[in-house]
Structure 1
C-alpha cells in the first residue's frame, strides 16, 4: 500500500486491474484501517478516473454474493449516490415502495447513512426490518410485496470492511459513487440521483456500456434526487432533458421542506407520515416526482403525466402503505 499511496500522492492514476486488485485486497483484510482511510482520502482531493471506477466496480461485483436467480424478476433499483450534504429524508427508499405498490418489481440496494442522519438501512432498521441475504426470503419478498431490500454489507465483504471507516470520515467518498452500480442482483433498470453534472456524465458513460435501462437525475442546486427546489436534469435513453417543477405541475419548494431531521427517529417519523398520506405537500410531491421517473424507466412508452398519475394514486390510495406493511410482515 505504501508504494500505491506514494504514486497517488504524486497525482498518478491506477489502471483498471490495479484498482480491482487493491479493493479485493481490502476485502481480504490485507490493509489496516489507517491505510484504507489514507487511500480513500486521495479521492477526496482529486476526481476518480473511468479506469479506476471500472476497476473498483469489477472488484465489488466479483466479491458479491451470488443472487443471480433473482434476475428473472427484471427489477429496478432507485438510489442516490448520497454525499450531497443536504440531509434529506429517505426519498429514494419511499419512492421504491411507491413504485412497488404501483405493480413493478423493485430490488432496493442500500446501506447506513455515511453522510446523512438516515440512510435506507437506518430507516429499515427503525421499522424492525431484519436484513437478510437468504435467497428464499428475498424471493418471497419480491413475489408477495414486489420489493426486496438488500443491505449492502451482507452481500459484499469489501463494503463491510470499509463501512466503519466511511462513517468515521463522515464525508463523501468514491464508495458513494460505486453503491448504485454494484447491486448484487445487477438489475437491468436503474434510477440514479447524482449531486453534480460531472458525475452525471461519468455514469452516463458507464451506463452506455451496460445492458440496462437507466435514468440519471440531478437537481441543479446540488441534490442527488429530484428535489423540486430548483430545475433538474434527467439523462436516459429517451434523451437529456431539463425540467422545472412547474413542468410536472408542482411548486418550487425550499430546502428546509425536505429536511430529514436530526435523528434516525425523526427521519422514521417523516417516512411514516409520507406512507400515511399525512406528510407535507412538499414531502409527498417530491416522492411522487421521483417515483414517476422510475416508472417511466420501466415503461419508457408511458407519458410522464401517466407515470405521475400512477405514483400519485399508489401513494394517496394507501397502496404504498399496504405494500410496506406486507414487506414488514415478510422481513421482520
Structure 2
C-alpha cells in the first residue's frame, strides 16, 4: 500500500507565517483605503460647508447698505430721517458710540447709521472695540465679527399691506426715510407724508464664530422689534475663522477707487461713519468636525494679513476666499 504523508510542523509554520503576512498586507490595504475614503468624504464635507457659509455671507454682503431709494446717503435722524421704533439697549447691538450707535441712526453728531461694521477678536476671544450683543458670548479667538444693515426683497407696494409684527421696516423715497415696527397699526398714517414712498423690510445681522460642544460654527444674530440680541441662530458647523480686509477709499472727494486694504482693528471711527469703504476681501477657514487618524495638518494658513501656524491636531481644514464690492456705499455724510 502507498503511504499518505502530511505536512510537517515546519511546513505548517511556514504556511502560517506566509498567510499572516498576506493577511497583514490585505488588512493594511483595507485600512489605508478606508482612511483615504474617510479623508475624501471629510474633504467633500469641508467643501460643502465652506461653500454654504461663503454663499450665505456673500449674499448678505453684496446688499450691504442697500436702503431702497435712500441708498448711498448717510442716515442721521433729522427733519428728513425719523424713527418710530427704538430697541432697548439690552435688545440692541451697540458699538463704541453707545446709544448713538445701534440698529438705527440717532440725531447725535456721531449718530450716523453704519451699514457695515467689523470687529476682531484677539487670542483670548476679546473684541477690539465694543459690540454690546456679543459681550456675554465666548467668541472664537483670532476671528472677525461682521455687522450688516440693509433692506431686503422687493418693495411692498400692495394697497392692502400686511406686515410681520415681529419685523422692522423702512419707508422712504430719495429724500426722506422712516423706520417703523411691523406691529404699528397706523401704517398709512406713518407714510402719508412721504410722497411716493416705498416700504422695505429692514435687517440688522451680526455674524460671528463660536465653538459649541467642541465644534466651531458660524452663527447669526438677527435683531428685530421683538428678538433679543442675545438670541442667536446656528448657521454652518465647522466654520473656524472669519477674516476680512477692508478696501478703503482715502481720496477727497472720493473717487470710488481703493487706496489701501486694512483689517477691522485698524479702521478708525471716522472711516466707519463716512463709510469710505468700497468693498472687502473675505477669508473663511473651515475645519472638519472630527479628527482624521493618521492625518497631520502641518500647513500654514494665510487669511489675508493673518498667518496661522500649523495646528498639528489631526483636523482637516479648508481655506476659502472671495471679494465683495459695496455698490451702495457713500463717501460723505449729507447734513
TM-score bracket for the superposition, by shorter chain length? under 0.3
TM-score, scaled to structure 1? 0.22
The structure whose RCO (Cα within 8 Å, separation 6+) is larger is 1
Greater strand content: 2
TM-score of the aligned structures, taking structure 2 as reference length: 0.22
